[in-house]
Structure 1
Amino acid sequence: MDVMDAGKAIALGIASIPRDAYLGLERTLQDLNLSDGRSYYQRRNLAEDARFARGMIKIAKNRNQIYDIARIILDDVIDKVPEPVLRWLHSAVTQKQTEAESSWVMQNLIVTYLAQQLCEGVMMSAFFKLTIRTTLTAGVGLILTQGLLANAANASRELVLTNPALYRKLYIKDFDMLYFMFEKPIGKITKLIQTYQNSPAQLQESVRNLDFKG
């Protein structure tokens, strides 16, 4: 991790504080049964908090779980791309032609490469965000932690609507509440694939320069 990457991760953590504080206060009121919706939101939040805790405990016990989550998500993304895009991605990642490779082999190599890159960025961003929160006063830190939980819950609820199959794969492993850590960098990969036909000559370099730290 170099100084520039660390500084960027810290800046992102600080920039997220105002929004997280608002979301954290809102979620705290729901947890205390003081918001509209009363006990429904309270029960929902408790269930989400439990899944978040179980997912984090699994990661704490085995850091490789972060890589497993990345592979589940990336397999879902890459599995949906057309054959020409799959071959282009494989060429960009391996820097070699792909005529003799099967789709399964190409997808596995792509997912392996991107998962390794993705985990580094996700871990760096999450580490500094959590560090910033724990160094604040107890009350403010608690509200910001609640904000982090609110972001996690919002991403999970959105995922169940937009991609229920992927949601189920993550949910059964208690990882749906950790999807939010991957949401932004995964969006960069999705956008890169969507713009494939616009500038093929530049895309190989774009894959190599994907930045998952912001």
Structure 2
Amino acid sequence: MNKADIFEFYRRLAEDNPSPETELEYGNDYQLLVAVVLSAQATDVGVNKATRKLFESVKTPQQMVELGEEGLKQHIKTIGLFNAKAKNVIALSKILVRDHGGEVPADRDLLEALPGVGRKTANVVMNTAFGAETFAVDTHIFRVGNRTGLAKGKTPLAVEKQLDKKTPAPFRLGAHHWLILHGRYVCKARTPECWRCAVSDLCKFKPKSPAPKSKPVSKG
């Protein structure tokens, strides 16, 4: 995809959704970090359902430590891999209290040093909490980048580097959100909904998926 097409690609996504945001629900930077850690291999809908009650009483790392691993498990047991995630959340909360004054560090390396926090999670927090121009590549963004020709790569890191290199200035902050939402609701894994895609003419995917045929109305 050339520079002009890339600019137009983002321009159309931005026009459709001028202020893109994460679909995870949170009240502060710490809750955002916890929600993103919990969202690995889980849906945002499922995470939000589990954290609504949790976040009513747990707003700081110290409160999470006081809740404890078993207490946390009771809140998040509907989420996949909840045992390992509970262990990581308690461990990272202890580190935040001990080493960072209970605050989430605005530094990717420090974030990646926390239990359960990989590059993708760190990038999401850096972008959403601190306004950094980072590109968190999950399965949706990896698929959209490769399928459309926007950012091709064999690994998430390769796609991330392509996005960082090719995404023009006006769209760098919102790019992660636009791409993940596009992948989640339009450029779906099994069958992309090309017939209602705002950027289908710019996309390199062939053949385009046709609109589903409407079922004939039976005459009773």
What TM-score results when the alignment is normalised by the length of structure 1? Answer: 0.29
Could you say which structure has the higher helix fraction?
1
What TM-score results when the alignment is normalised by the length of structure 2? Answer: 0.28
Higher relative contact order (CA 8 A, sep 6+): 1
